[in-house]
Amino acid sequence: MESLVVEGDVCGVLPRLPDACVQSIITSPPYWGLRDYGIHGQIGLEPTLAAYLHKLASIFAEARRILKPDGILWLNIGDGYTSGNRGWRAADKKNPNRAMSVRPDNPPGLKDKDLIGVPWRLALALQADGWFLRSDIVWHKPNAMPESVKDRPTRAHEYVFMLAKNEKYTFHGDAVLEEAEDGGTRNRRTVWSINTSPTNGTHIASFPEELVEPCLLASTMPGDFVMDPFFGCGTVGLVCRRLGRQFVGIELNPEYVDQAMESLLKQPLGQDCSTGTLPKGSKLAKLPLTLWNCVTCGISRPWPKT
């Protein structure tokens, strides 16, 4: 099987993938009520929080079937505040991308200005659905986007949840050791300070490669398959190609698919770009790449194989 980029709705693509075919899932689904991507079928603008959580829990239940028995899911998810039932959000002078013409109403039981708590609500929903919730990682953003608020601290973090399919799973802790105060190394801690970075396309909410890399190294070996069911402009795929892994990326937005393919085909195959050498232990010479269109169930465009 080749690395694969699938253009289509994740709910229609996942059932077509075979059981236990990926070693790890690394993904960041659209956040609830924070972005309007302007495409039919998008996730994140469900009218209720319950509908959003149910939709994602259903998607990850199907993803669990595709994950190998000893596999790990890494889930990055952000939070937000209630809309005050306004149905819109004005642009922030420090963050114009926050403007939206449609927003869901306050969830039942929450008040105006409440922090919704989406990350933990989703994590607990997945735990209740059978996932083993193993770690809550705080992604600290040293260069966090400023906010025009005066009555609370500026948010400078998101969560990355580590979930396992089964009680016993494969975790390569030695691959992600961090520097200790005495100059040695120690087991990686749960606060990761990583700057946000410009996207490789027009996607306005992509996560940085530096956040993907430790997840990838801790849960896979060279040649393993990784899946991102919300592929965006292909960040997970770029890290996979750089570190000698194969991947399956699923993306609804054709514009993002085009941008992902363009970036992926420029990425050196099986090389660590920082050293120009194959990752230690890797025997890969190249990782072919295919674009598959879920609607036609076939190769939709003749992308070159590298």
Q: How many Cβ atoms from other residues are within 10 Å of residue 83's Cβ?
A: 19
Residue 135 to residues 24, 29, 188, Cα–Cα distance (Å) = 15, 18, 12
pLDDT of residue 289: 54
pLDDT digits (tens, 9 = 90+) for 88-134: 555 555 555 555 556 788 999 999 999 999 999 999 999 999 999 99
**CA 32 to chain CA mean position, Å:** 14
**pTM, entire model:** 0.84
Q: pLDDT tens across 152-172, in order? A: 999 999 999 999 999 999 999
Question: Rounded CA gap, 257 and 80, in Å?
Answer: 27
- The model's pLDDT over 231-249, given as tens digits with 9 standing for 90+, comes to 999 999 999 999 999 999 9
Would you list the domain boundaries of the chain? 3-299
Cβ contacts of 295 within 8 Å, gap of 6 or more:
7, 8
Strand 157-164 to 178-179 pairing: unpaired
| Residue 144 φ then ψ, to 5° | -55, 150
Per-residue confidence (pLDDT) for residue 275, from 0 to 100: 34
The model's confidence at residue 202, banded by pLDDT at 50, 70 and 90, is: low
Tally Cβ neighbours within 10 Å of residue 159: 18
Superfamily for 3-299?
Answer: Vaccinia Virus protein VP39 (3.40.50.150)
The number of helices, as runs of H, and strands, as runs of E, in the chain is: 6, 12
Contacts of 127 (CB under 8 A, 6+ apart): 133, 163
Which of the 8 DSSP states describes residue 70?
A: E
pLDDT at 263 over 60: yes
Side-chain-side CA neighbours of residue 105 (13 Å): 5
Predicted local confidence at residue 34, as pLDDT: 72
As a whole number, the mean pLDDT across the chain is 83
In this structure, are strands 185-186 and 178-179 parallel, antiparallel, or unpaired? Answer: antiparallel
Contact by Cβ (8 Å): 264, 238: yes
173 C-beta neighbours (distance < 10 Å), count: 10
